[in-house]
Structure 1
Amino acid sequence: MKGERKLKELLKSLNKDERIIILCHHNADPDALGSAIALSRLLLHLGFKNVRIGIAQSIASYARKLTLFSPVPIEKDPIIQEKYVFIVDTSSLEQLAPIDIPPSSYLIVIDHHTEKENPIPADISLLDPTKTSTSEIVWEIFKKYKFSDEESAKALLAGIVSDTSNFRYANAKTFKTVYEILNLYEISLGEIYQLIAPVSDENIEQAKRVAVLKACQRMQIHKFRKFIIVTSKVSAYEALVCKVFVNLGADVAIVGSEKKGEVRISARARENIVKMGLHLGKIMEKVGDIIDGAGGGHAGAAGANGKKNLDKAMKFLVKEIKNELKKISG
């Protein structure tokens, strides 16, 4: 992979006392956090003593169990004093807001997304859009160093399972990586599914049901040609409600929330719409300026975080999605 040799030369040249930080996008999911944790374990193995992980804004609820595998501090919105900055599973600097990266920083980007319009100005890039997760790229780096441990393997498997939606979007390379990991360790996939399952108790489950039912009450249906776009607002569980709407029959679902000066938007699309060419992540990137924040994500699942203009942003997203559907459906 392009950049691997350059990375190896860099790490070999650095003093082991050099401070390094690994950054993840806002609302870090299991792929972002799992990749960062595994990478931190590799850096410690190589002898680096001062490593930490930085998260923009928050960690997704279904990724929080992975923090147990981190051997280094995980900090929210850290002030960066390190010269060497790894950025994982993140295609634009906007997704790292409000983290401020000094201009003098040396940037190493590891990602399975590619950003054509406004890419991160990396000194070293390890990008592979043929991979279904960033965790797979980190595993390839592990192989170059002939390194792995069971905790890293679990973190990477969690990232792979999550980003492929339980292997729905997996390809041959995905299964090759999973085979290589499972061939080394006696890890059950059931254990990995439990790692990325949201923490549940009776009160939380009731709150989720209430959120879904209220979202259904507020649902707006936007018909466009043969497609159904559904929008709604909730106070929490935006991603969950999106999934429910798609399961109920929506082609695309957009759900937003606004609470205590924080705006959050989640979007999901049916697999057949994604195969036609719709990319919600690219559309969600455009909404950052409207909400005074940042957005991005995958083709079939995306999100944004900001401070204002939820209604304006929702209308904008519906319009943009209709424009894209018009292009891809002919």
Structure 2
Amino acid sequence: MQIREIIRVIEEKNAETILLLCHHNADPDAICAAFAFARLLKQVKPHVRVEIAAAQGISQLSKHIMKHIPITLVEEPNFEKADILVLLDTNTIQQLDDWAEKVKSSKAPLIVIDHHASHPETEKIATLCIADEAASSTCEIVYRFFKELNVELGKDEAKALFLGIAFDTRHFVIASSSTFKAVAELVDHGVNAEEALSILSLPMETAERVARLKASRRMKIIKANEWIIALSHVSAYQASAARALINLGAHVAVVAGEKGDTLRISLRAVKEFYEKTGIHLGRDVAKPLGEYFHGMGGGHAVAAGVNGIGDVETALKRCWRILREKLKFTHN
């Protein structure tokens, strides 16, 4: 059992302080998984101090969720005092921004719990990697840990896990049968589904709306075989903008943004694109993009991200080049 491997690492280190880390602008899956996992660790190892931190803060929706679930975050985690570091919903240390080097230089064992494809560079520095692409979310993996240990879920933990799963599956649109089973069991633990889902319905901020509109205005449309590929750029909300371009009709959307020397790229695709072409955005596009821009990239088959150093024009050209070559291969 995977949770037993985690406990083994904790016991071998005789850990007193465990630091749980979430990616920058942490989404509901990240913070809810961290919260539930922290509660689980406290039940299994009551003496252990568990802290949760998110690089560059959390998303607006995550802040809203914190009004309904007692999640506590530390703003400046002490990496030197941490006996174990755990990355949740974070498959590259580059997603930790300024904390990346602290993690890399830390002598504490590193554990990764994620539902994205594991990144080779992360695997090199991690003591233990638990990556399950079949899981809908990191929250679904954490729920599995509770079941493996036969630990009773509290109402707050159940609600947090439900919210994380609901968010990452787009309100269960892309959920599998195992995900629905997990959600049904969480409801049996006292989660009011209707009430919980309403928490995720946070009105979109004006800045995000503007970013989506700018992305659509700047969009370059490329027709490749039967696929419509949209390339665009905005300074913020790249992931939201990419989702918006998919909703407008693109099969694949790539939205880049730069802040100083830092480059961020969000990629999204419809499920049909992956099923027919076999092109996995995280493995086949984001990973090589991350390497090219001296950063890291990864993610799911239909949702991925890249962090690196460069400019948006070069990024979009490089991304299209990779996609074009992959599409030629699949077409042939």
| TM norm. shorter chain > 0.5 | yes
Identity %: 36
Which residue does 1:57 correspond to in 2? Answer: 56
**Residues in 2 aligned to 1:109 and 1:94: alpha-carbon distance in whole angstroms:** 14
Contact 2:117 2:298 in 1 (8 A): no
Which residue does 2:195 correspond to in 1? Answer: 191
- Report the residue type matching 1:148 in the other structure: L
For residue 286 of structure 1, give the secondary structure of its aligned residue in structure 2.
helix
For residue 295 of structure 1, give the secondary structure of its aligned residue in structure 2.
strand
For residue 185 of structure 1, give the secondary structure of its aligned residue in structure 2.
coil
Q: What is the count of residue pairs matched by the alignment?
A: 323
Matched, 1:115 2:118: yes
Write out per-residue CA displacement over residues 233-278 of structure 1, whole angstroms, 9 at most, x where no aligned residue. Answer: 2233322322222122211111122345543322211120122322
Structure 2 matches for 1:207-286, cutoff 5 A?
207-276=207-276, 277-282=278-283, 283-286=285-288
Matched, 1:302 2:332: no
Q: Which runs of 5+ in 1 are unaligned?
A: none
**Residues in 2 aligned to 1:78 and 1:308: alpha-carbon distance in whole angstroms:** 31
For residue 98 of structure 2, give the secondary structure of its aligned residue in structure 1.
coil
**Residues in 2 aligned to 1:57 and 1:78: alpha-carbon distance in whole angstroms:** 15
Contact 2:258 2:311 in 1 (8 A): no
**Residues in 2 aligned to 1:311 and 1:33: alpha-carbon distance in whole angstroms:** 33
Contact 2:92 2:119 in 1 (8 A): no
Which of residues 36, 42, 50 is equivalent to 1:38?
Answer: 36
Which residue does 1:85 correspond to in 2? Answer: 85
Q: Which runs of 5+ in 2 are unaligned?
A: none
Cα 1:286–1:314 change in 2 (3 A) is: same
Cα 1:83–1:209 change in 2 (3 A) is: closer
**Residues in 1 aligned to 2:31 and 2:151: alpha-carbon distance in whole angstroms:** 22
**Residues in 1 aligned to 2:234 and 2:170: alpha-carbon distance in whole angstroms:** 23
**Residues in 2 aligned to 1:198 and 1:293: alpha-carbon distance in whole angstroms:** 32
TM-score (norm 2): 0.85
Write out per-residue CA displacement over residues 92-129 of structure 1, whole angstroms, 9 at most, x where no aligned residue. Answer: 33333432223521122222233364442433343333
CA drift of 1:187 comes to 1.7
TM-score (norm 1): 0.85
Cα 1:49–1:329 change in 2 (3 A) is: same
Contact 1:281 1:301 in 2 (8 A): yes
Write out per-residue CA displacement over residues 166-219 of structure 1, whole angstroms, 9 at most, x where no aligned residue. Answer: 22221111011111111111422x33333334454xxx34x4444333333322
**Higher alpha-carbon deviation: 154-163 or 210-219:** 210-219
Which residue does 1:23 correspond to in 2? Answer: 21
